[in-house]
Chains A and B, each alone.
Chain A
Amino acid sequence: MSFVGGGRRVTALDGVSVRLKPGAVTGLIGPDGAGKTTLMRLAAGLLAADSGRIEVLGIDVAREPQRVQSAIGYMPQRFGLYEDLSVGENLELYADMQGVPRPMRAARYQELTRMTGLAPFTKRLAGRLSGGMKQKLGLACALVRPPRLLLLDEPTVGVDPVSRRELWSIVYGQVKAAGMTVLLSTAYLDEAERCAEVILLHEGRLLGQEAPAEFSQPLVGRTFVLRLEGMSTRALQSRLARVPGVLDALVTGDRVRIVAGEGFVPETATLLADHPTARIESVAPRFEDAFVARLKGQDGVHGAPPKVSMTIAGEVDDEVIRVRDLERRFGDFRAVKGISFSVKRGEIFGLLGANGAGKTTTFRMLCGLLPASRGELAVAGHDLRRAGARARRSIGYMAQRFSLYGNLTVMQNLRFFSSAYGLRGRHRAERIRWALDGFELDDYQDVNAGLLPLGYKQRLAFAVALMHQPAILFLDEPTSGVDPLARREFWARTNALAEAGVTVLVTTHFMEEANYCDRLVIMADGEVLAAGRPREIRQRARTQDSPDPSMEDAFIALVQGREVAA
C-alpha cells in the first residue's frame, strides 16, 4: 500500500501479512506513521491495496467492500459523533444508519448505556461530554448493531487513565459475551500487554505477531531496576544511558530501569564504579523493553543524543512562573477553575491530565495567547499578554503537533524563526549551526518540514523553540504520537536543559512521563487534583495491595477519591 503526497511517494504498508485470531483482542501496535490506520482502513474496505489481498470474515474486501462494511464495526480515530445531538440521538442515528430493527433498539440502547456508564447522560449533547465519555459513546455507536469484527483505531489516545481502563473492560466484555473479534490499534505500549496477541508495525513493516509475553521472552534476565540514594533519578538515568552495553535506561517511579544488551551483565562495578551502594534488582521484562530493544536492533547503534549546551543566568529558587486563582471561561463553560501553582528556576514542571482537563488552556494563558477570565499570572515577572514584545524574548514555545511551516525546508524554518527572535548576522549563523548539529538535522536541511518523519519534526520544533536560548521553555504535549525512542531522546535533551538552568513547563497525557518532572500538578475538569513531587503523589495511592503504585495508579486513585468525596 502506498500513498502519493507532496510529490513524494510514501509506502505506508510494505508486504504485511497477518491473520487475526477469532474471538480475541489483537493489538495493532506501533508509533505514528507505522501504518496502523492504513491497515485498519484497508480491512474496512475504505482503501484499496496496491497489491495483495485482504479477506475479512471470509469475504474478499476488494471485491465486496459493502458486504464487509455491513458485517463489521469500525471506530476511526476521530469518531464521527454529532456534537449537536444528544447521546440518545447519536445512538438512534447510528442505529438508523446500520439498519437495526426498531423492536430491538430499546434493549440494545439500555445495555450499551449501562455498559458505558452513559445512562444518566442520554439527554446531554455529545459536544458537552468529556473526552473519555465521547470515546465511550463512539464505541457504543460502533457497537449498536453487534458486529462480528470490531476495528478500533486508537480509541484510547488522549483519554484519561480511568476512561482507558473502562474502555478496555467494555471491549473485553464484548469479546467474552458475544465472541467478537477485535483489532485495536494503540500507541500506548502498556496496553499491548492487555491483548491476546500483538501485531507490531514499524514504518510500514511487520516486526512480529505474537502474544505480548513472547515478545518480551528474549529479554528475560536482561531487565533491571536501579536505585541510588543521593543521586536524582534523572541524573542516574542520563548517566546509565551512556554506559556501553546498556540498551535502554528509563525513569520509572523513583528508580531507573535498564535493559542490558546481549551478553552484558550489569553490576555495580560495570555500571557505577564510584557508587558501590547502588542496588540492582532483576525484574520481569515488559512489552516496552522488547519494543525498544527491537527498534534499536533495527536502526543500528542508537547512542545517547549529543549534549545540548546552554547557559542561563539567574538564582536557583527564584519563582519564575506564578499562577494564582487562574480561571478561564468559554461562555458558561469553565475550562480552568481557579488554579494556583508556582514554578522555580531550573525546574521541570509538569501539567498532567487527560484531553479536556484544562492543560492546554492554562498553557495558552501563560504564554499570553489567551486572556485569563480571572486571577493572576506572571511569567518571569510579566503577564505575557500585556507585557511588551521584549518580555516574550525570554520564553521558548513548542506547540502541540509541532507547528512548523510545512512547505518550508528545515533550513528556511530555522532561518525564519531565528530572525523572528531577532537574531542576526554571525550570531544567527552560529545558532542555526548549533541547531543543525545538536539535533542531527544536517542531512535534512533541504527537506520540507511537512515531509519530515515525526521524530525529526519534533526535533526541529524543539530546536526552533531554543534558537534564542530562552530561560523558560513551554512544551505542549511534546511527546504525543512519537515513538518510544524519540521520546527517550526528547527527555534526555530536556533534562540537560534543566541542568543548565532552563525552567521547563511541560504538559503531557502520558502519566509515566511525570516521573521526569521535578514537580507537577495533575489536572482534571479544570481543577488541580494533586500537586507535588512525583514521589509524593505516587505515595498517596499507596495501599497494602499495591505498595509501589505507578503514576497512573495514583491518578486513578485521585480521581476515584474525588468522585467519592463529591
Chain B
Amino acid sequence: MPWHIFAIALKELLALLRDPRSRLVLIGPPIAQLLVFGYAATFDLNHVPVAIHNEDGGGAGRELIARIAGSPHFDVVAQPTRDEQIAPLIDNKKVLLVVHLDQRFSADLLRGQTATLQAILDGRNSNTAMLALNYLRAILLDFNRDWAMQQGQRGPPAVLRTRAWYNADLNSRWFIVPGIVGLLTLVVTLVVTALSVAREREQGTFDQLLVTPLRPVEILIGKALPGVLIGVLEASFIIALAVLWFEIPLRGGIGALYVGVLLFLLSAVGVGLVISAISVTQQQAVLGAFLFLVPAVILSGFATPIANMPEVVQWLTYLDPLRYFLIVVRGVFLEGDGYALLLNQYWPMAIIGVVSLAAAGWLFRHRMY
C-alpha cells in the first residue's frame, strides 16, 4: 500500500479515536442498541395479562383454566366474578384477553355436546390480539384432543403436525439478532464515514488536503479504509455477542460470512462518503446519513418481508445493500449457506460499493461551494 494512503488512514483513525465524543459513538450506541433489539424486539408474545371469568366450576373447566394459567404465554392477573367487571379490565388495558366459561361448560362437555368458550380481545393492537388468540387456539386444540382421548372418543379427523426447520422453536430472536449485525454495522460505518469529509470541510482542512499532491483516489482509499476497519471490528463484536451471549447457532462458515461483511462495508462506506462529499457541514452529513438509513432499514426486510411490499417498492429494495447482507447473514447463521449459494447476494453489494466510491471520488473535487 502506498505510503500516503497509509498516512491518511492513520490520520483518520487518530482523528476519530482521539475525540472522546466519536469514541462514544463507536462503543455506546451499538451496545445499547444490541441490548434493546436483542431483548425488546421480538415477535413472540410472553406473559400476556389475561382475566378468567369462570362461572362453570366443573372439573373440565378447571382443567382448561389450569392449562391457560400454566402457559408461559399467559399470566392470569384477574378473576372477575360478574359480567360488568370485564369491560373496565379491557378498557384500562389491565388485560389483553378475557376468557369466559359459562355455567354449562363442563356439563355440556360431559353430555358429549359442544361447549363454548368465549374470548374477548383488546383489538386496539390487532397484531398482538391475533398473536394472543393464536396461543389460546393452540391450548384449546391440545385440550380438545386430550379430552377426546380421555373420553375414549376418536380424535379429530385430521390433525396438523408442524416442524419448523432451521428454527425449531420458531424463536424470533434467531431471526432478529443476525439482522442486527447488518443494522448496527451500517449505522456505525455510515455515520463515521459520512462525518469524515464533512468534518474536514467544516474545519477547512479539506482544502488543505486537496492542495497537497495527494490524488483524490488516494484520499478516497485513505478515508474508506478506517471505515471498513471499524466496520469489521463492529460486525465481529456483534457476531461474537450473537453467538456467545444470545446463543444463536452459527451454522455456516466464517469465510462466507466475512466475504459478505467486507462487501457490505464497501457499499456502506461508499454511500457514507458520497453523503459526506455532498455535505458542507457535519450536521448535514448526519441528517443525510439518517435520510439514507431509515428507508434502507425499512426496505431491507429487517422487520417486514420484502415480498409483502408493492412491486415498485420491491424494485427499490434492489438498491439497498442491507437487503443483500441480511440474506447473507441470516443464511450463514441459520441455514449454513456457503459461498456458492450467496454469490447472487455478493455481486450486487460489490457493484453498489464500486459505483458509490467512484461517485464520492468524483465529488471530492467537483463539489465546491
| Partner-B contacts on A (CB < 8 A) | 7, 364, 367-371, 384, 389-390, 392-393, 395, 397, 399-401, 403-408, 412, 415-417, 419-422, 424, 448, 464, 474
CB neighbours (8 Å) of A370 from chain B are 368
On whether A424 and B3 interact (CB within 8 A), knowing A405-B11, A412-B11, the answer reads yes
B212 touches A417 (CB 8 A): yes
Total CB contacts across the A-B interface at under 8 A: 79
Rank and list the top 3 A-B pairs by shortest CB-CB distance, nearest first.
A419-B7, A403-B204, A389-B213
CA A422 to CA B8, docked complex, whole Å: 12
Cross-chain contact B214 with A368 (CB below 8 angstroms)? no
State the main secondary structure of chain A at its contact with B.
Answer: loop
Residue of A nearest to B16 (CB): A407
Would you list 5 pairs from A and B whose C-beta atoms are within 8 A, ordered by A residue?
Answer: A389-B213, A404-B203, A416-B7, A416-B8, A417-B208
Q: Which residue of A lies closest to B365 (CB)?
A: A385
Q: Is the CB of A408 within 8 A of B209?
A: no
Give B200-219 as 1s and 0s: 1 = Cβ < 8 Å from A's Cβ atoms. 00011101111111110000
CA of A157 to CA of B20 in the docked complex: distance in angstroms?
34
- In the complex the two chains form, is B207's CB within 8 Å of A420's CB? no
Q: A392-B213, A393-B213 are in contact. Are A419 and B3 (CB under 8 A)?
A: yes
Contacting pair A420 B214 (CB below 8 A): yes
Give bound CA distance, A415 to B7, whole Å. 8
Within 8 A of A (CB), among B1-53: 3-4, 6-8, 10-11, 14-15, 18-20
CA A448 to CA B209, docked complex, whole Å: 19
Cα A7 to Cα B19 in complex, Å, equals: 11
B23 to chain A, nearest CB (A): 11
Nearest A residue (CB) for B212: A420
A420 to B18, CA, bound (A): 20
List of A residues within 8 angstroms of B14 by Cβ: 408, 412
Once A416-B7, A419-B4 are accepted as A-B contacts, the answer to whether A399 and B213 lie under 8 Å apart by CB is no
Residue from the set A397, A416, A421 with the largest chain B CB neighbour count within 10 Å: A416
User: What residues of chain B lie closer than 8 Å to A392, measured between beta carbons?
Assistant: 211-213
- Contact of B212 with A369 in the complex, beta carbons under 8 Å: no
Shortest B24–chain A CB gap in Å is 14
User: 13 new A-B pairs (CB below 8 Å) besides A399-B207, A408-B11, A412-B11?
Assistant: A368-B211, A369-B207, A371-B368, A389-B213, A392-B212, A393-B213, A403-B207, A403-B208, A404-B203, A405-B11, A408-B15, A420-B8, A424-B3
Q: Which residue of B lies closest to A416 (CB)?
A: B11
A395 touches B211 (CB 8 A): yes
In the complex the two chains form, is A399's CB within 8 Å of B204's CB? yes
Q: A368 CA to B213 CA in the complex, in Å? A: 12
B319-349: which residues lie under 8 A (CB-CB) from chain A? none
Q: How far is the CA of A7 from the CA of B18 in the complex (A)?
A: 12
Contact A404-B205, Cβ < 8 Å, known A419-B4, A419-B7: yes
Residues of chain A within 8 A of B20, CB atoms compared: 7
**A368–B212 alpha-carbon span in the complex (Å):** 11
Interface contact B7-A397, CB-CB below 8 Å: no
Contact A390 B213 (CB under 8 A): yes
Which single residue of chain B is at the shortest CB-CB distance from A385? B365
Q: Are B215 and A389 in contact (CB under 8 A)?
A: yes
The residue of chain B having its C-beta at the shortest distance from the C-beta of A474 within the complex is: B211
Alpha-carbon gap, A432 to B301, bound state (A): 53
Give min CB distance, A422 to chain B, whole Å: 6
Shortest C-beta distance, A416 to chain B (Å), equals 4
Q: Whole-angstrom distance between the alpha carbons of A405 and B202 in the complex?
A: 11
- Give the CA-CA distance A412 to B14 in the complex, in Å: 9
A405 to B19, CA, bound (A): 11
Chain A min CB distance to B5 (Å) = 10
**Cβ-defined contact, A408 with B18, below 8 A:** yes
B205 contacts A422, C-beta separation under 8 Å: no
Are A421 and B212 touching (Cβ within 8 A)? yes
- What's the minimum C-beta distance from A302 to chain B, rounded to whole angstroms? 29
Find out whether the CB atom of B213 lies under 8 angstroms from the CB atom of A421: yes
Q: Which of B3, B11, B15, B211 has the most CB of A within 10 A?
A: B211
In the complex, chain A residues whose CB is within 8 Å of the CB of B210: 368-369
| Min CB–CB distance A386 → chain B (angstroms) | 11
Chain B residues near A397 (CB-CB < 8 A): 207-208, 211
The residue of chain A having its C-beta at the shortest distance from the C-beta of B219 within the complex is A420
Contact of A407 among B3, B6, B10, B19 (CB under 8 A): B19
Q: Which residues of A contact B7 (CB under 8 A)?
A: 415-416, 419-420
Return the chain A residue nearest B22 by Cβ.
A407
Contact residues in A for B208 (Cβ distance below 8 Å): 397, 399, 403, 417, 464
**Residues of B162-217 contacting chain A, CB below 8 A:** 203-205, 207-215
| A399 CA / B206 CA spacing, docked (Å) | 10
Query: Which one of A364, A367, A368, A420 contacts B4 once the chains associate, using CB atoms below 8 Å?
Result: A420
Q: Are B209 and A420 in contact (CB under 8 A)?
A: yes
Contact of B368 among A369, A395, A400, A416 (CB under 8 A): A369
Q: Are A400 and B204 in contact (CB under 8 A)?
A: yes
| Nearest residue, chain A, Cβ from B218 | A389
B6, B14, B207, B212, most chain A CB atoms within 10 A: B212
Complex CA–CA separation, A412 to B19 (angstroms): 14
Instruction: State whether A406 touches B203 (Cβ < 8 A).
Output: yes
